[in-house]
Chains A and B, each alone.
Chain A
Amino acid sequence: MEPGEVQRGPEGEERAGLDERVDPATGEFRVIAPGQSFRSVTEKITRIVLTTTTPLGWLAFFGVGGALATMLLVAVTWLFLKGTGIWGITQPVAWGFAIINFVWWIGIGHAGTLISAILLLFKQGWRNSINRFAEAMTIFAVACAGMFPLIHMGRPWLAYWVFPLPLTMNVWPQFRSPLVWDVFAVSTYATISVVFWYIGMVPDFGTLRDRAKSKFAQHFYGLCSLGWRGSVRHWSRYETASLLLAGLATPLVLSVHTVISFDFAVSVLPGWHTTIFPPYFVAGAIYSGFAMVLTLAIPLRKFYHLEGLITERHIDNMGKVLLATGFIVAYGYAMEVFMSWYSASHWEAFMMWNRAFGPMGWSYWVLITCNLAIPLTTLWSRRLRTSMPFMFCLSIVVNAGMWFERFVIIVTSLYRDFLPSAWGTYRATKWDYMTYVGTLGLFMALFLLFVRFLPMIPISEIRTMLPGAKVKVPAAADTATEAGD
């Protein structure tokens, strides 16, 4: 692509600097825009946190998120008072929005871990700008996801029975059930993610502590920084811990959604009972996760003027990841159709037919449109991949599509299975919607709190990528060994 091609958009005043953003050597966008120094990076990131004036936009969004989270509280309170019957679940569709949302949120979380762990191991330097908030996204997504298996239970106050607790009651989990596997997968995942996230922030907490003006902030960040002094020994241990945690987290990226796919694959239900589910779920999770990172990154860089740190290069790269995982997902869909024919199983054939052309066939076509038709045709174009409005809209489309994927898998497999006499239908109630939208609000509120009070971009890691850090190859900076203050 010619560098001149990107000279478009309404921001006329930025045109002068456009060429600067492209690395002439590769013709790619730079990972960090030129003109950044250690000081400017530190200033830029810490100012967001340490400022005493909260932006009005932040307050407005937080208000919306908080209101929706309150709605979630109302919905869950009513749920606990009345029972899961306030939702649309029924016989035969005994799992509905709760499990759809669970799988969706868990899937979203995957991108964060992938970015922070796998890309770290693969030394993808560009990840540094986005890994912190992607990790935060993971944690909040897992929090939202983790709530659903608990509240969807008929008797949520007994949820602790799924843990192997040595109680006098002798209640012990039934380990053949994939739901028990889920418990371990999700709780491990949540733990590792939180630890990884926190360890990553320790040097930045030190920076914040040192720069904080108010007593409270000094104490707060001081506590969080665990006595970080930036000594070489500290850095050495920090790097080792990061690598170890990355090594631990990497298999989790693959295993968590694999285990969750077992919830379906282990059952006997046509449409669920499929060996392709583990890879197909993981790909889908990364697909939706990157979409969510985009959904968050594009407004963030705009509102906090972080274009210099989160550049078109990041957006472009994520677009490529979307394209790749989108094709894996497409392969999964194709295999489902193929196997329903090739298996010669009557049930499979009917399931596929019913999924696409039955009374709820519309949901399948929404899924195909959102997940395949739109992204896989447009993402080939770098022009579109670097267009912020387009990528933002596309990320929303993919998120919706992935939500519908779970809807299709769960609802259209269940509502018409073996005995036609037991067929039914599914219609979500307002409580379903309130709970779902409420978790979006909760996620939003948590994420905004994170943005306001924690460094959303890793200061230390960005600084290692600056030319001043003597990084030889800016596009693939070695974050581990050459860091310094």
Chain B
Amino acid sequence: MNLTRHHGGTIILLTFAAAMLLTIIPLSDDFRTLRPDWVALTLIFWCLALPYRVSVGSGFIAGLFLDVLTGTLLGQHALSLSLVAYFCVRLHQRIRIYPMWQQALTVLILLILHQLLTLWVDSTIGRPAHPPSYWLPSLIGAALWPLVYRLMTALRVNFSVQ
């Protein structure tokens, strides 16, 4: 694989930056806990689209940024996002050919895995249990997946990121 084939690295970075902006943009208290994990969704998309460019390492770095931005334990999101990236890259050939609803289901499982790992770290360091609504962001994220997928594919085609 030669370097000339790589295109549009800035677009990938910009999508991650936009996802992080959406993660910290202030919402009213009613909606704060419902915010889908934009960074995880972005990571899953790029892992499916370009598994040879975006994978575990990118997930780790994005996770570190997310930890600093949201004030969680440093490395918590890095761990869960790198695992999500790993499974995503591992299964990308299979997930790519799924119909959209099945893809959304797979994304749901990946998002839940991400939240589960975060929860696991949280309870290990002695945070109190979360309410059941803690899991809603995963459902919302999976429901938004078709939209995210179309949008990002359009971006990708438009700027010929490869």
Question: Are chains A and B native binding partners rather than an unrelated pairing?
Answer: no
Residue numbers of A with Cβ under 8 A of B are none
